[in-house]
Amino acid sequence: MSRIGKLPVTVPNGVEVQLSGQDVSVKGPKGALSLTLVDEVEASREDDKIWIKPRSDSKRARTMWGMQRTLVNNMVVGVSEGYKVGLQINGVGYRAQIQGKDLVLALGYSHEVRYTVPDGIEVKCETPTAISVTGSDRQQVGQVAAEIRSFRKPEPYKGKGIKYVDEYVYRKEGKKK
């Protein structure tokens, strides 16, 4: 039995959920998302709860059950509250700024790194060393944050680079004489 799959997805006020066969579409104040469930599970709605249940007792149905429930829950939370990932830039002269639809990063290279922000994602620079990525699609928010981080990952000796706000960079000791 899936411990996650057994739980219902609670639909908050202001969020509309449409179930048509294997398609689930969710619309809320932060946007609209849709998902096609795998054939091994089925979705049903009772009042303000969505239940995901396996169609059979096969191994694949049991493995997909919890994942599909989590994906539906992520969509409901995304359109009602949204997701946010914070990035922090460490290093002398390292900074970020928004120019139109592009994020411009100065990361110690001989050139500026330009990253075009995809649709549905909002990137803000509160300070030149703090970036916040927000959006309604959890997967896309995490992917954009990972792509921005990949331009200069934090290194262990001085801690320079782009790191997640809640990430701990293990520091190493330098050379000894």
DSSP assigned state of 91? S
Query: Taking 80 as the threshold, does the pLDDT of residue 2 lie above it?
Result: no
Query: Is the distance from CB of 174 to CB of 157 less than 8 angstroms?
Result: yes
Q: What is the side-by-side strand order in the sheet with 9-10?
A: 9-10, 49-54, 41-46
pLDDT of res. 152: 95
Q: How would residue 42 be classed by pLDDT, with cut points 50, 70 and 90?
A: very high
pLDDT 10s digits, 94-142 = 999 999 999 999 999 999 999 999 999 999 999 999 999 999 999 999 9
Q: Can you list the domains of the chain with their CATH numbers?
A: 9-80 (3.90.930.12), 83-164 (3.90.930.12)
Q: What is the side-by-side strand order in the sheet with 16-20?
A: 16-20, 23-28, 31-36
pTM: 0.90
- Partners of 134 in beta bridges: 84, 122
Query: Taking 80 as the threshold, does the pLDDT of residue 1 lie above it?
Result: no
pLDDT 10s digits, 14-29 = 999 999 989 999 999 9
Of 39, 120, 31, 119, nearest to 76 by C-alpha is 31
Q: What percent of the chain has pLDDT over 90?
A: 93
- Partners of 148 in beta bridges: none
Strand ranges for the chain from DSSP E: 9-10, 16-20, 23-28, 31-36, 41-46, 49-54, 83-90, 95-99, 102-106, 113-116, 121-127, 130-135, 161-164
Q: How would residue 177 be classed by pLDDT, with cut points 50, 70 and 90?
A: confident
* 60: number of Cβ within 10 Å: 13
Average pLDDT taken over every residue of the chain: 94
What tokens were used for 164? Answer: 């997640």
Query: Is the distance from CB of 131 to CB of 123 less than 8 angstroms?
Result: yes
